[in-house]
C-alpha cells in the first residue's frame, strides 16, 4: 500500500511541476463551457439541470483523457526512468495503481473545478442536486474507465503519440458500442442478445443511466470492472515487456 501512495504522490507532484496540468485544466474548463452553453443550449432550454453539460462528457473525454494517460508509461519508457522505477522495491501492481490513481484524481480535480456551473444552475433555478451529484459520480467513473484503457495503451509503446491515438480509438469503440446508430446497424446483422451484450459494454449506456440519476449497482460494477480489467491488462503488458 505504501508503494501505491509514494508513486501517487510523485506522479501528482510531476503533473504540477510542468505547465501541462494547468493547460489541461484550462482547456477542459473552456471546452466544457463551450459545449454546455453553445452546443448544449443551456439557457435556451430553460431547464434547471446540467444535462447539456454532462451529455458532452463522453466526447470531451475522448481526446482529453488520452492526453493525460498517454504519458503514464510511454514517457517512462522513452526517458528510461522505467528501469529505475521497476528496479525499486515496488511491485508492478503498486506502480500501475499509483500512476492510475494519480491520473484519476487529477481528472477528478478538473471535474470538481466545474463547480461554477453547479452554482449557476442553482442560482438560476431549483435543480435536482441528487441527479447532478449522480452525474458527477458517473462522469468521474467514466473518466476512470477511459484512463485505465489509456494506461494499458501507454504501457504498450514508448511513443506518446501512438499511446494517445490507441487510447482514443479503443475508447471510441467503447463509447460507440452503445450509440443508437451503431446498435441499430448491428440489429440487422446480429441476434438481439448479442446486440444487447455489445451495447451493455458501452460507456455511453452506463453513463447515461447514471447521469439520469439512476445509480444502479450494475453501472457501478461495470465501471469498476472496466477499470480493474484494463489495469490488470496494464500489469500483464508490463510483465510481458520484462520478458521481451
Residues contacting residue 194 through CB under 8 Å, at least 6 positions apart? 186
Cα separation, 55 vs 53, whole angstroms: 6
Residue closer to other proteins (CB basis): 192 or 243: 243
Task: Choose between 188 and 244: whose C-beta lies nearer to other proteins.
Answer: 244
Give whichever of 87 and 180 is closer to other proteins, judged by the CB atom.
Answer: 87
Q: Which range binds other proteins by CB under 8 A, 49-57, 74-82, 200-208, 216-224?
A: 74-82
d(CA 162, CA 69): 12
At closest approach, how far in Å is the CB of 8 from other proteins? 11
Q: What is the dihedral of CA 68, 73, 77, 78, to 10 degrees?
A: -10
**Residue-wise burial string across 150-181, b where 16 or more C-beta atoms lie within 10 A, e elsewhere:** bbbbbbbbbebeebbebbbebbbebbbbbbee
Q: Residues binding other proteins: what is the number (CB under 8 A)?
A: 24
For other proteins, give the closer residue by CB, 81 or 225. Answer: 81
By CB under 8 A, name the one of 41, 79, 129, 197 that touches other proteins.
79
Nearer to other proteins by Cβ, of 90 and 111: the residue is: 90
User: Checking phi first, is residue 213 left (phi over 0); if not, alpha (psi -120 to 50) or beta?
Assistant: left
At its nearest, how many Å lie between other proteins and the CB of residue 174? 32
- Residue ranges in 135-194 that form contacts with other proteins under rule CB under 8 A: none
Judged on CB neighbours under 10 Å (0-12, 13-18, 19+), 196 is middle
Tell me: does residue 243 bind other proteins (CB under 8 A): yes
- Give the Cα separation of 235 and 244 in Å (integer): 14
State yes or no: residue 2 binds other proteins (CB under 8 A). yes
- The verdict on 6 binding other proteins (CB under 8 A) reads yes
17 contacts other proteins (rule: CB under 8 A): yes
Instruction: Tell me if 13 contacts other proteins by CB under 8 A.
Output: yes
The footprint of other proteins on residues 82-101 (CB under 8 A) is 83-84, 86-91
Q: Which residues bind other proteins (CB under 8 A)?
A: 2-3, 6-7, 9-10, 13-14, 17-18, 79-81, 83-84, 86-91, 242-244
Amino acid at each position: 500500500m505504501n508503494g501505491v501512495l509514494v508513486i501517487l504522490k510523485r506522479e501528482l507532484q510531476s503533473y504540477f511541476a510542468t505547465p501541462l496540468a494547468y493547460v489541461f485544466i484550462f482547456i477542459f474548463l473552456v471546452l466544457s463551457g463551450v459545449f454546455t452553453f453553445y452546443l448544449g443550449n443551456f439557457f435556451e432550454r430553460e431547464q434547471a439541470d446540467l444535462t447539456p453539460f454532462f451529455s458532452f462528457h463522453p466526447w470531451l473525454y475522448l481526446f482529453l483523457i488520452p492526453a493525460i494517460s498517454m504519458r503514464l508509461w510511454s514517457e517512462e519508457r522513452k526517458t528510461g526512468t522505467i528501469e529505475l522505477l521497476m528496479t525499486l522495491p515496488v511491485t508492478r501492481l503498486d506502480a500501475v495503481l499509483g500512476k492510475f490513481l494519480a491520473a484519476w484524481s487529477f481528472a477528478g480535480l478538473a471535474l470538481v473545478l466545474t463547480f461554477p456551473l453547479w452554482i449557476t444552475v442553482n442560482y438560476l433555478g431549483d435543480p435536482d442536486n441528487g441527479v447532478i451529484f449522480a452525474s458527477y459520480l458517473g462522469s468521474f467513473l467514466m473518466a476512470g474507465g477511459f484512463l485505465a484503457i489509456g494506461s494499458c495503451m501507454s504501457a504498450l509503446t514508448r511513443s506518446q503519440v501512438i499511446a494517445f491515438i490507441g487510447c482514443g480509438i479503443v475508447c471510441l469503440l467503447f463509447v460507440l458500442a452503445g450509440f443508437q446508430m451503431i446498435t441499430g446497424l448491428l440489429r440487422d446483422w446480429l441476434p438481439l442478445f448479442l446486440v444487447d451484450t455489445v451495447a451493455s459494454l458501452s460507456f455511453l449506456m452506463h453513463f447515461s443511466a447514471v447521469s439520469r440519476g439512476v445509480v444502479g449497482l450494475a453501472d457501478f460494477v461495470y465501471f469498476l470492472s472496466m477499470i480493474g480489467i484494463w489495469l490488470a491488462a496494464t500489469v500483464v503488458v508490463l510483465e510481458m515487456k520484462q520478458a521481451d
